[in-house]
Chains A and B, each alone.
Chain A
């Protein structure tokens, strides 16, 4: 029997409903400390909804989300704040504040949190941007950046408050293959070097297979299979096989 310390996040019987439509249906998931776990699934399968429930941006209809000893699902908005600082989230389209510079974006959460000197914050911003492979962009505005750069700034912003777990919503969607590989190796590197737990939500099979320790397959709001990369590749589940098959047939290697 594992204890709570082994898990970064534990999702327990999570249900999310809007009106009478069930978007997430009794999900159970354990995200182990220090692993890269991918949640794979097609568009509209509920991936973003699940991420937002984990971070407490959406309140589940029922079920629990354990972050350490605390249940995110029952906390008030004010009580969630300290818990959120242990989690970082990188949004699908980065969601940078477009009226702020890159540097102001990165230190946004920091500014209102602790009494840190301005110079110290700038140092943190430079360091986090350096981690994600960006330099000399501090004074640019998000509109002046490419899609890949924006996602990295989003990651730098998520890393500013030293989270233990970072959640990525479709980190590689809409990026060219080279940028995709860069983002993939960035996730792997942060996981190894900073011992970050990473939750990657994606429909990009290639990317998922490259970065993950474990994969959970989400379809129509249910987990249909969870396992290591090898287990998923050899899964007998219909939906998993269909998903992998479709991905294979649309990839470059299979082009005539």
Chain B
């Protein structure tokens, strides 16, 4: 079945068959990756390398974007709630939105933009320059060497980045709230009161799903790239667009599943 991942296909295809093909090849890639992981012949060097790239190097942009998102949430919620004399409750509004929505979604979006694109570009350029063929000819499976390390690294690092994002967002909110006159202890008290560990774990479950989407879409687009430098460009753009759209769609269903009843 893995055979089909390597089968060349022509580009000319209708919209419906393109979607079906995409879903099919994502499924094949995921199955092949799981099978490769189960064989326990892991490429540790590659995994560590990808963890540094996807995780460590993404900390600054994830922290900055969520910090300012927390800040803007506090800006609106604090000034609104202060009219009703409840400014300190803004900590709850910020905490809840950050933990459930902003931290996981923004982390995934930032990693998709930064790393999903890079994954697609690297693998696509290897594909169009026959490096993927060369790898297979040397009896090294590109699934274990290229796909699994990226998938594992994303699965490990995105939850950690999400925790970082939670801290950054809540602190960003705290700065603005205190500038607007909400006492810091009251803000953090409200964070504590309105959010519990389930909000945090729920967010982390979401981001783990997004991690699979970002890594797998990047790899899938890279491996199916065709036609020189232009093909690399297409694969990169498509990887970012597809993973962002999929992140928002799955986010809705995950929110419904995880948080709708609480």
Contact = CB atoms under 8 A, between A and B. Distances in A.
Interface of A: 18-19, 52, 55, 57-59, 76-78, 80-82, 84-85, 87-89, 91-93, 95-98, 108-109, 112-113, 154, 157-158, 161
A78 B126 CA distance: 21
Contacts of B9: 18
Contacts of A81: 139
Contact of B6 (A77, A85, A95): A77
B141 A109 contact: no
A57 B139 contact: no
Interface SS of chain B: loop
A18 B10 CA distance: 7
A76 B133 CA distance: 16
Interface in B1-33: 2-3, 6-10, 12
Nearest to B144: A112
Contact of B138 (A58, A59, A76, A84): A84
23 contacts: A19-B10, A52-B133, A55-B137, A58-B7, A59-B3, A59-B6, A59-B7, A77-B136, A78-B141, A80-B139, A82-B139, A84-B138, A84-B139, A89-B137, A91-B133, A93-B130, A95-B130, A95-B134, A97-B134, A108-B138, A112-B139, A157-B134, A161-B139
B192 interface: no
B133 A113 contact: no
Interface residues of B, number: 21
Nearest to B145: A112
Nearest to B35: A78
B129 A93 contact: yes
A98 B134 CA distance: 12
Contacts of B48: none
Given A57-B6, A95-B131, A154-B134, 12 more contacts: A19-B10, A57-B137, A58-B6, A77-B6, A78-B141, A80-B139, A84-B136, A88-B137, A89-B134, A93-B130, A108-B140, A109-B139
Given A57-B137, A108-B140, A109-B139, A92 B130 contact: yes
A106 to B, nearest CB: 10
Contacts of B129: 93, 95, 98
Nearest to B2: A77
A105 B135 CA distance: 10
A109 B7 CA distance: 22
Contacts of A157: 134, 138
Interface in B99-131: 126, 129-131
B3 A76 contact: yes
Contacts of B139: 80-82, 84-85, 109, 112-113, 161
Interface string B126-162: 1001110111111111000000000000000000000
Contacts of A19: 10, 12
A109 B140 contact: yes
Contacts of A92: 130
Nearest to B141: A77
Contacts of A89: 134, 137
B135 to A, nearest CB: 8
B50 to A, nearest CB: 13
Given A18-B8, A18-B10, A77-B6, A57 B141 contact: no
B3 A109 contact: no
